[in-house]
Structure 1
Amino acid sequence: MKYFRKEIVLFVLIGFLSVSATCQEKTSSTTESDSKTVKKTKKKKKKYKLSKINLKHWSVTTPGLNAKGGAMNVEPPEILNYATDERLMPYMYNDSTDGSIVFYAFPNTTTANTKYSRSELREQMVPGDNNTNWTFEQGGVMKGKLAIEDVTKDAEGKYHRVIIMQIHGRLSNEQKELIGAKDNNAPPMLKIYWDNGKIRVKTKILKNKGASDDEILHEEAWDDDDGYNFPTEVGFRKFALEVRVEKGKMVIVLNNSEYAVYDSSDIIRWNVFENYFKAGNYFQSRDEGSFAKVKYYELEVVH
């Protein structure tokens, strides 16, 4: 009888120890699982990226309206606060997932000498001043890394075109008075398009190669060339563009590997004009409901 009782006591004791060990194992397993969950949660925490583009030497024109009902323009230093400026936030804003600045444009307002709207930067060599510009003889380089984020299609199913970079000509005040122009606008020597997934370059050529220096100051003295398409299709991928200018020569480089070189007499004669760089989203459509979004990851100008 005593032996039987000892067996019962021993059996109960073993059962208790087994249950206790199981509970400890489950507790340890649960704790380890919770720890892994916490670690996974920490790994998934998003990192917000801010743009590194220096806007100190840029003004911006947007589809927004100014007090006079025209296209809104914001210059330095106000443009430096674009991320919190309610006037600019709908048209120029940060994408914190990749550190880009997004330029959004749609048919709304137009600027002088155009029927299209834009969300586009204009170079200012002296912040807040449009009267200090450069000639081809002085030269300059503009580099950018960008992508088309979104763009609508026309009735035929073709994507709307967007001008993403420009070199715009400008008359000096003396030239303006000489030819009796109403403003300082001169033709754009260079327009770089995103055109249905390809990069297309358009430049100006003289209608009369023998025109005088005074005659070529008039916009009607110039015509558009036939244009050039880079072979590579960039589509909606990120790509690099570079524009190099010197006296008598202009070079456009795509992805550091494809080149378009212009060194004709038209480029040489262009030295009569002042110039400034432009970059962003100059949207080429008036279709109802159309729009485009252009992302700039990098943008730099050197003279």
Structure 2
Amino acid sequence: MKKIRKEIISIILLSFLSVNAVCLAQESSVSESDIKVEKKSKKKKKKHKVKLPNIDLSHWKVTLPVANEKGKPYEIEPPEILGFASIKMAQPYMYIDSTRGAIVFHAMPTNSKTRNTKYTRSELREQMEPGNNNVNWTFKDGANMKGELAMDASSRDDEGKYHRTIIMQIHGRLTNEQRDLIGEDDNNAPPILKIYWDKGKIRIKTKVLKDLNATYEELLHEDAWGNDDGFNFEQEVGFRKFTLEVKVSDGKMVVILNNNEFKVYENIHMKKWGIFENYFKAGNYFQSRDEGSFSKVRFYKLEVSH
């Protein structure tokens, strides 16, 4: 009888051990499978989808904050600008952020400054005829520019405030005949519009005529025009993505932020400005000479029409 009991106990123990072994094997198998799935999931997460900015550069040239062999700011015009990503000189200052689908414009103080300014820029200049600065537009012709952009990074001043930069412009230009009439040695005219990223907000500056009775020839001189008091949009954009649109027509200029805030300029100053040719600018015209300062601006989209 005792012998039979021992055999029964032995059989029960063996059965128990067998069941446990099967369970452990199953647990081990599930665990290994889970690990494989998890590893695949992590690999998928590491693979970023390449995104490209929606910007046609065939009618833009860029000015970079670095000097060429003549000591002047380095510029890239069409068609070379279409391959800017492979141009070594451009790579630190204008490059593609393929994770966000944007072109980044990076500027900081250097000894390479454009004429009539103490600041440097990584900024696009519109060329209606690729490679030619002499073909431009007037307010009567009409023009539109729309961009989707964001401040990528910015240094701060001694008070802890972010440095500001100009992200869009409309720049005036003298025709060759106007230049010769007033005896100038270049075609430069004032910018009628400057749009700033200013401590996380969007600020606009424009020009006003000092003497409304000025003659045609007097209007052509840069010192005939002063600065207005400026205008700040209410919304703070910070480092988030936003849209800016500029619409120009005869005697009128409208600036739109995120399709819900508008600033309209329709006055005698806009009418008088009609004598000038103009061109759009967009990018990063950095407004600091502080040592170690910099800013980076991302452009996702940029469109111009006339």
Give TM class, smaller chain.
over 0.9
284-293 or 155-164, larger mean C-alpha shift: 155-164
CA distance in 2, matches of 1:153, 1:35: 47
Tell whether 2:177 aligns with 1:174: yes
Q: CA deviation at 1:61?
A: 0.4
Q: CA deviation at 1:9?
A: 7.2
Distance change >3 Å, CA 77–CA 5, structure 1 → 2: same
Residue 113 (structure 2) aligns with:
110
Q: TM-score, normalised by structure 1?
A: 0.94
Match of 1:90 among 68, 78, 92: 92
CA distance in 2, matches of 1:5, 1:278: 96
Q: CA deviation at 1:29?
A: 1.3
SS at match of 2:86: coil
Q: CA deviation at 1:107?
A: 0.9
1:24-76 CA deviation, whole Å, 9 max, x = no partner? 31343134313321342244132232222111111000111101011111111
CA distance in 1, matches of 2:276, 2:245: 21
Residue 67 (structure 1) aligns with:
69
Q: CA deviation at 1:299?
A: 0.9
**What is the one-letter code of the residue matched to 1:78?**
E
CA distance in 1, matches of 2:200, 2:124: 22
CA distance in 1, matches of 2:38, 2:237: 41
34-43 or 241-250, larger mean C-alpha shift: 34-43
Q: Deviation above 3 Å: which 4+ runs of structure 1?
A: 1-13
CA distance in 1, matches of 2:234, 2:156: 22
Aligned residues: 303
Residue 54 (structure 2) aligns with:
52
Tell whether 2:171 aligns with 1:151: no
Residue 285 (structure 1) aligns with:
288
1:259-302 CA deviation, whole Å, 9 max, x = no partner? 11101111011111110000010011111111111111111111
Q: Cα RMSD (Å) of the superposition?
A: 1.8
Q: Which runs of 5+ in 2 are unaligned?
A: none
**What is the one-letter code of the residue matched to 2:189?**
A
Match of 2:163 among 160, 176, 181: 160
Tell whether 2:270 aligns with 1:267: yes
52-61 or 245-254, larger mean C-alpha shift: 52-61
1:207-238 CA deviation, whole Å, 9 max, x = no partner? 11011222211111111111111122222222
Quote the sequence identity (%): 57
Tell whether 2:31 aligns with 1:30: yes
Q: CA deviation at 1:111?
A: 0.2
CA distance in 1, matches of 2:122, 2:34: 51
CA distance in 1, matches of 2:192, 2:102: 27
CA distance in 1, matches of 2:141, 2:122: 28
Q: TM-score, normalised by structure 2?
A: 0.93
CA distance in 2, matches of 1:188, 1:16: 87
211-220 or 274-283, larger mean C-alpha shift: 211-220
2-11 or 231-240, larger mean C-alpha shift: 2-11
CA distance in 1, matches of 2:16, 2:157: 78
